[in-house]
Amino acid sequence: MNSPATPDFASYSRQLGLTRTSYTVDEAFEHLSVKSSLGWKLIRQGLLGTPVRLTGKKTTVLAIDIAKLIWDRQQDNLDKLVP
């Protein structure tokens, strides 16, 4: 079975409406439609990229990492982890 080609995630993130480079983890969880506990589990498991701490003590996630996870969910790769 052929899988669709992997997109350019920078362009894909803009198509999803992710217009900023990074988002706070709470905003990322909102875009993914997951609760905080599941979102942090995804981060710990390395499925949502590596969060970055800014000097303002806010932890952020890159838009491209959000787009990658959404793409994976759409490809049914993570259905057992993310409802």
The domain spans of the chain are 9-74
DSSP sequence for 14-79: HHTT--SSEEEHHHHHHHHT--HHHHHHHHHTTTT---EE-TTS-EEEEHHHHHHHHHHHHTTSST
Task: Give the global pTM.
Answer: 0.78
CATH architecture designation of domain 9-74 = Orthogonal Bundle (1.10)
State pLDDT tens for residues 17-67.
Answer: 999 999 999 999 999 999 999 998 988 888 888 877 776 778 899 999 999
